[in-house]
Structure 1
Amino acid sequence: MCCPAPPEPGERPDAWPLPRWAHLPGRTAGPDREPLERAKRALPARFAAFVPADDAGLRYGLSLHDAGFFWEAHEVWEAVWKAAPMNGRDRLALRAAIQIANGGLKRRLGRPRAVRRLVAEAMALLDELRLREPGAAPASYADRLDAASLCRALAACGAGCALAADAPLVHLDAFQKHA
């Protein structure tokens, strides 16, 4: 199918199909783009003031990441990041998530130095996020992200995680504060 239908209004992202395989650059023929394009079409062209923590595209990226689809999560989150308000806290939080997903991918590809660098970059972004005043949008992704706990988990994990190579460095959904 050339252009899969966008998700139905109100359709939960955890019901969206996962890709049929995890893309590994240089090792797999290419990504299963259909589910990713469907998720990207559900995004607004631009978020008005903040990225809602319950945004379907953002949540789908979390589902992808926590299921081990690191390259795919990066792709979806990059689209969310592009639609996020410029210079906002959500962009920092999304960049950190993108670096964490990239770290998971690099670990799967057997590149420990890249993992350490990406974890350090994600931690620096989370530190910057914590230094910025919370916005007036308690429902935003950045304001619902427990950046301090996530930073501690990344520091404890680093490149020496005793996890299977296909497991996420951290389960990002576990660091969401619920209203």
Structure 2
Amino acid sequence: MTMPPPATGNLPLPRWAYVPGESQKSSADYETLAQISALVPPRFGGYVPARHPALRYGLTLNDRGYFWEAQEILEAVWAAAPQGGRERILLRACILIATANLRLRMQKPHVASRLFGEALGELEALGVRSAGGDGFADGFPVAALAAVIKAKLAQPQLGKADGVAFAVASRT
């Protein structure tokens, strides 16, 4: 079994990356995902903590190429995030990015471009909302992530290698 990265602690990575319509396996590794989904509370109070293990795991999954799985975990965190909060906007952008990355892997660059554009719109909407708390959206490098997406969208054609990693945004 693959060793999990430090951001996920002792949480196991899925045994394979599921790609709808292309995977050798008949379905996703739901058993592993269920372990992580169980960490998400029914509702977060006030904000989604930046260090919540399910959130960190979902971001790590995307960066490790488990795009479908990242989308599933991030959607579970999104569903528990406070209504109208900044985290919901950022989580929606992250879900759109993971979905766009999956579409790139499935060789659907036009769909991926549209999804990256929607994610960029969410990030821009987040930028006009006030910050200043302890939530996930307050310390996340939103401007850097938006810049990475803008650079991808400026390319004439996207390919499989043009996915967006969340860690790249924190390094720019």
**Same fold flag (TM > 0.5):** yes
Displacement of 1:175 in angstroms is 3.3
In 1, the alpha carbon distance for the partners of 2:97 and 2:34 equals 21
Q: Deviations over 1:111-143 (max 9, x none)?
A: 011011000000000000001111x42x21111
Displacement of 1:106 in angstroms is 0.1
In 2, the alpha carbon distance for the partners of 1:61 and 1:26 equals 22
1:27 aligns with 2:22: yes
In 2, the alpha carbon distance for the partners of 1:46 and 1:81 equals 10
Tell me which of 151, 167, 175 is aligned to 2:146: 151
Q: Share of identical aligned residues, percent?
A: 40
Tell me which of 51, 75, 80 is aligned to 1:54: 51
Matched pairs, number: 164
Q: Matched residue of 1:93: which SS?
A: helix
- C-alpha distance 67-168 of structure 1, shift in aligned 2 (>3 A): farther
Displacement of 1:99 in angstroms is 0.3
Q: Matched residue of 1:15: which SS?
A: coil
Q: Deviations over 1:78-107 (max 9, x none)?
A: 000000000110000000000000000000
1:103 aligns with 2:110: no
In 2, the alpha carbon distance for the partners of 1:56 and 1:37 equals 13
Residue range with higher mean Cα deviation, 97-106 or 142-151: 142-151
1:43 aligns with 2:37: no
CA contact (8 A) 2:109 2:159 kept: no
CA contact (8 A) 1:50 1:90 kept: yes
Displacement of 1:12 in angstroms is 6.5
Q: Deviations over 1:140-172 (max 9, x none)?
A: 11111111111011111138499972x572220
- Counterpart of 1:148, as a letter, is A
Q: Which TM-score applies when normalising by structure 2?
A: 0.87
Tell me which of 133, 147, 164 is aligned to 1:170: 164
Tell me which of 69, 86, 89 is aligned to 1:89: 86
- Counterpart of 2:99, as a letter, is N
CA contact (8 A) 1:84 1:90 kept: yes
1:65 aligns with 2:59: no
- Counterpart of 2:51, as a letter, is D
Q: Matched residue of 1:106: which SS?
A: helix
In 2, the alpha carbon distance for the partners of 1:34 and 1:121 equals 31
The root-mean-square deviation of aligned C-alpha atoms, in Å, is 2.2
Structure 1 residue runs of 4 or more that deviate by more than 2 Å after TM superposition: 11-15, 158-165, 173-177
Displacement of 1:62 in angstroms is 1.1
